[in-house]
């Protein structure tokens, strides 16, 4: 009997020790977890400091992508102060809400419009041009949208599963007639889409005789307005007018609207004063700027100008082809770095990983 009691006393003592050890270990786990949280916060702060210290000329793609990948695991918090500062600055300088494109409200018949890139050149707004202009912008000066998505065309969007998240936005801007047949990654909702005149020149050279291919392509965006830089260069005007004529005839509910060259010029100066030296802003930065003025929460997708993704794997320039940009015209790494710094500030949200 004594041996039996001794045996159970020993077992009880061992169980007590195990429970005590479990409690101690459990406490250690929680301490370590708290320490890791603090460590992660410090690491995220350090990563943001690294990003802010970078200039585009000093970017080493390998180390940069590693830092950005680590940064993407940091929690992103919107900074209302920074967000409102950018909104006020953009509205004061450029006013996308009233001046993004030419309308009958901000343009009068008989007015001469100066071209954006050649101020010595101008065009008279005659009756035919005035009739092309919409009555007003689709938003008022006091318009505010909660969440907006600007969908860049970067190959990083492939296999991103971001389509549903993009489509959940209040407004979705798309660039340069990018295809939306891969809806799982890029979504289908479209509030505004741009067309580059060079796309028409190269892809639809016989537009007046064979308008159907273009009409079918733009029909994918529903009734979303098609935005063209008719008065950026003199060579853009005739092409933009031809697109307007074709779409108005065959898809009267889908409007072709024209960038206001004064807006583009003011926006160019805005970014130039913030260190962006390039011949021309990309359409992506233009529409991201519009979204920053219009929206409380701006999410950017497909903005990635590098040949390797965050895991050092090759990535195509576009999610639909691998045709690169004009390096003479654009400074895409510089633009991206500017946007990444704004992401670190909490002004915008860059989505560079898969969506959940």
Would you state the structure tokens that stand for residue 230, as one six-digit string?
Answer: 């008719």
Catalytic residue among 330, 343, 349, 356: 330
Question: How many alpha carbons fall within 13 Å on the CB side of residue 219?
Answer: 10
CA angle at 44 for the pair 41 and 45, rounded to the nearest 5°: 85
Give yes or no for a contact between 325 and 274, defined as CB atoms under 8 angstroms apart.
no
Beta carbons within 8 Å of 152's beta carbon, 6+ residues apart = 175, 284, 300, 301, 302, 303, 304
Would you state the structure tokens that stand for residue 244, as one six-digit string?
Answer: 């307007």
CA angle at 262 for the pair 261 and 268, rounded to the nearest 5°: 90
Beta carbons within 8 Å of 321's beta carbon, 6+ residues apart = none
H or E stretch including 173? strand 171-174
Left (φ > 0), alpha (ψ -120 to 50) or beta: where does 313 sit? beta
**Residue 174 backbone dihedrals phi, psi, to 5 degrees:** -125, 155
Beta carbons within 8 Å of 311's beta carbon, 6+ residues apart = 69
The CA distance from 54 to 221, in Å, is 38
Question: How many alpha carbons fall within 13 Å on the CB side of residue 28?
Answer: 6
343 is a catalytic site residue: no
Beta carbons within 8 Å of 108's beta carbon, 6+ residues apart = 125, 130
Write out the catalytic residue numbers: 330
């Amino acid at each position: 009997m004594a041996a039996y009691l001794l045996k159970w006393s020993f077992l009880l003592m061992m169980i007590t020790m195990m429970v005590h050890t479990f409690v101690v270990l459990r406490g250690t786990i929680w301490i370590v977890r708290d320490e890791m949280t603090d460590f992660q916060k410090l690491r995220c702060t350090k990563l943001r400091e690294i990003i802010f210290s970078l200039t585009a000329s000093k970017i080493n793609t390998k180390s940069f992508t590693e830092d950005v990948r680590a940064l993407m695991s940091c929690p992103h918090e919107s900074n209302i102060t920074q967000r409102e500062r950018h909104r006020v600055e953009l509205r004061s300088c450029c006013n996308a809400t009233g001046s993004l494109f030419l309308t009958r409200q901000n343009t009068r018949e008989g007015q001469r419009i100066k071209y954006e890139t050649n101020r010595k050149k101008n065009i008279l707004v005659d009756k035919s041009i005035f009739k092309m202009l919409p009555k007003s912008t689709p938003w008022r000066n006091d318009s505010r949208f909660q969440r907006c998505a600007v969908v860049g065309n970067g190959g990083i969007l492939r296999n991103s599963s971001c389509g549903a998240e993009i489509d959940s936005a209040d407004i979705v801007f798309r660039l340069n007639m990018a295809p939306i047949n891969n809806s799982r990654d890029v979504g289908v909702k479209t509030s505004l889409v741009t067309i580059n005149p060079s796309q028409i020149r190269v892809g639809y050279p016989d537009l007046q005789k064979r308008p159907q291919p273009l009409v079918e392509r733009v029909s994918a965006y529903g009734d979303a307005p098609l935005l063209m830089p008719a008065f950026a260069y003199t060579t853009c005007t005739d092409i933009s007018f031809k697109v307007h004529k074709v779409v108005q005839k065959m898809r009267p509910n889908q409007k072709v609207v024209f960038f206001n060259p004064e807006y583009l010029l003011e926006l160019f100066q805005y970014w130039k004063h913030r260190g962006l030296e390039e011949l021309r802003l990309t359409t992506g930065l233009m529409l991201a700027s519009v979204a920053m003025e219009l929206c409380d929460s701006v999410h950017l997708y497909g903005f990635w100008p590098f040949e390797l993704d965050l895991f050092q794997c090759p990535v195509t320039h576009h999610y639909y082809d691998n045709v690169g940009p004009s390096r003479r015209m654009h400074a895409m790494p510089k633009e991206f770095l500017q946007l990444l710094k704004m992401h670190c500030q909490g002004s915008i949200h860059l989505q560079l990983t898969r969506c959940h």
